[in-house]
Structure 1
Amino acid sequence: MSSPGPNLPAKTTAGAAEIVRVEAVSKDFGGPKVLEEVTFSLTRGHVHSLIGPNGAGKTTLLNIVSCLYRPSSGRVLIDGRDLATLAPHELAVLGVARTFQNLKICRNMTMLENVLLGAHVGLQGGLWVGIFRPASVVRRDSELGERARRLIAMVGLDVTPETMPDALSYGALKRLELARALMNEPALLLLDEPAAGLNPSEKLEMGRLIGRLAEQRITVVLIEHDMKLVMGVSDHVVVLNYGRRIAEGTPHAVARDPDVIAAYLGTRL
């Protein structure tokens, strides 16, 4: 199988520092369990994929890691800190950023302004700062603007940063959302179906982008149904089915697991 990402040397997660630990997480919404006793850990600086059929609980789990949902039981720790004590907006302080299945783009703002939204967490100020704009704030804003422009170029958007989102293709909007997520320099990046709706060339470019993030030692957690992309960029794969973890390991091992083939893949890759 050809890889959609760069031809990077194979990495191993063995011995790497843990960044996320999911401990016996279950979730229900008043009915059957959506997640049941899910446990695994993710290591720093690698690409981890969550795969499984529709309804397996992948996005629910990502929502728990994002503090959008609380687990019914169990816990999630990031760098040893229990997320039960945090609100969603506090995750950025821990270096966590996320994209969503459905685009969260502000259509009445330019590309540059959309990306700058990713830097709002951690910025301090108030009425005095807003009115008088001391030199330190002017310098900070200039640096943020330059960083936003670099990220726009890095994700391959070769139009002026003042372009409005309605002038962009769907694939370009996906890359714009990725640039915004990177604005706060995350250590942990959660991507929910980044290749959904993309054409083959756009998927190829998305794979390359994820590969570049891995080279920068950003930990990526990826939900994706495109198995060519998953197998090409992942160091570690966790498979869910009916809310349970049924397998995890390297892409090569998971692709040959009989339970994974029966539940999801249908055939060996």
Structure 2
Amino acid sequence: MDRRELGAFLRSRRERITPADVGLPVGPRRRTPGLRREEAAQLAFISTEYYTRLEQARGPRPSREVLAGLARALRLSDAERDHLHHLAGTPPGPLPGPSREVRQSIFDLLHRLPQAAAIVTSATYEVLAWNDLAAALMEDFSALSRRDRNLVRRAFLGPRPEGRRLYGVSDVDAFARTSAQKLRATAARYPEDSEVAELVGELLDGSDEFARLWASHDVCAEATLCKTFQHPLVGSVTVNCDVLDISDRDQQVVIYTATPGSPSEEALRLLSVIGTQRMDVTT
């Protein structure tokens, strides 16, 4: 345990967080940057005395539970969390769960792709972010609960109208197979995450197809380079599918683009105008 470095690291992380970042009032007469020690201690569910001793390099080696509380309270990234554990002389354990926080630069990227439909998915296939064209092509994700924005849940347990399972994509069977394989790998990376375990349990109970794929123990997913959506307003839309890994967040940016000059490009242009409005409803 490197007490001096641990104390300096905790102080530097505490001072970069504003009270507003964690929902605390700023209040008058705040003379130090960032959070006060007592505020950091409160957020980490430890005593102010204990936290102060850690910052002053006088504290005992913190337990894994204390380190988890400090990482949560100080909003540490995965790399910072690992560093905290190493300073405390306790090797980092499994990550607590898949990250759902999308960087602002990724949000900005999505909206700088006006001719492409793009989404960000988590390690459990939850749609975390999307641009307007993706909402028009697939679904208005803003109108869905977090639970219903999960693509693997929709693929195996969602509505199955004729030709419209999972937005009518042409590779739905391949997606089902790939998602089951990737979810198995995700469950191995986050063995202590209750949400991952609950999702797998729900899929095993509700889908014989998923149970069969899960039982294969395959973890090698195949790449999808092209797929066709069946849209209720503009018909078939064939797009190229490119996936960009965000390795530090265990997320993916999925970008759908149509071949220039193709009917599908015209369909995407029309969807960019239509948006998510229901043109089949008369008033």
Which is richer in strand? 1
Instruction: Answer whether TM exceeds 0.5 for this pair.
Output: no
Q: Rg larger in 1 or in 2?
A: 2
- Larger RCO of the pair (alpha carbons < 8 Å, separation 6+): 1
TM-score of the pair, normalised by structure 2: 0.26
Which is richer in helix? 2
TM-score of the pair, normalised by structure 1: 0.27
